[in-house]
Amino acid sequence: MPLFRRRILIATDPMEIGIRYRAALEDDFHHFRVELVVRDGLIASLHAQAPRHPYSLCPSAADQLQQLVGTVPATSAHAVMRQVDASQQCTHMLELSGLTAAAAARALQQRRYDIEIPLRVDGRTHATLDRDGTRLLAWDVQDLEIEGPPPYSGIGLRQGMARWALSHLSEDMAEAALVLRRCAVISMGKNRPLDAQRHAQLSGACYAQQPERAPLALRQVGSTWNFTWQPDQLCRDDQDWIAFKV
């Protein structure tokens, strides 16, 4: 059964002044990196790269992340969604920045997420998330709703889930649930002919999909890869970078 996979890696590098954090995200559709430096309790610098992306304008969304420079890293990764206008950001760069900032706020040395979601059959799938090598979440999903297990039964994957997770789960579990939620939604793209698009949709949902940018955000044909049978290839090209060797 073909799978959607995503891997997220976060690592720390103490410096003489401040602490440097690096994070990498790779899945079938995306490959992004974020480097964040915390000094005197504030985000002193934040930079992002887009080695693989679905639309030509995605890399320029990295500039939007500068809005987070000078802010205090929050222990909740979702806090960045309230600090900026998320619709003017690359969703995945912003979420990766939030995870990195939360790792800094919690003084985590490293973190790893591995997500697997088989392609849906009659709308159904079984979505799993491992954190640091341990299975943390396993959801039965029908279309855009979690069927189980409790306490996730009956929770929709779109509007309202973040609010529910942040109010009903521990901060740590809410973070993991929202990471899996994002993957459960975007995994549906594997059933669509994405390379048939000429440019991004004019949905206004993210940076590249804003009406003024979407016609110029050209589809990067061939940018969707398949990691079903090659999970070890995820973030393969990030190993030296995440280890601060380059």
Domain ranges of the chain: 3-111
pLDDT of residue 191: 86
> Which tens digit of pLDDT belongs to each residue from 19-47?
999 999 999 999 999 999 999 999 999 99
Q: How far is CA 83 from CA 47, 104, 200, 209, in A?
A: 17, 17, 25, 20
- Overall average pLDDT of the 194-219 stretch: 96
Class of domain 3-111: alpha beta
Length of the chain, in residues = 246
Closest CA to 129 of 164, 99, 107, 106: 99
> What is the average pLDDT score of the chain?
96
**In angstroms, rounded to a whole number, what is the distance separating the alpha carbons of residues 217 and 130?**
33
pTM of the model: 0.96
CA distances to 77, 86, 163, 236, 241 from 160, in Å: 17, 16, 5, 35, 36
Beta bridge partners of 110: 11
